[in-house]
Amino acid sequence: MSNSNKEKVIVQITLEGETARVFRDSTLRSNRSLRAEAQIRLEDHLHLVDSVASVGIRELKKP
């Protein structure tokens, strides 16, 4: 999960409604904190997805 690169970016987000519920449920299933769940999901997404036009519309990276 951690990167050897020293560059660091800190973000704060607000999730509402169904998205907040889905995220909270995922933390319970994984037994991770909100912060750890957000970090692993964002890192995973950034490695798999090349660009995002909007929710559900994305271009996956080529293998």
In a domain, 7, yes or no: no
The predicted model scores a pTM of 0.77
Residue range of the domain that includes 26: 17-60
In a domain, 30, yes or no: yes
CA separation for the pair 14, 36 (Å, rounded): 16
Q: How many domains does the chain have?
A: 1
pLDDT of residue 55: 85
Half-sphere exposure of 46 (CA within 13 A, CB side): 8
Full pLDDT tens readout for the chain, 63 residues? 555 678 999 999 999 999 999 999 999 999 999 999 999 999 999 999 988 888 888 888 887
pLDDT of residue 58: 83
In a domain, 1, yes or no: no
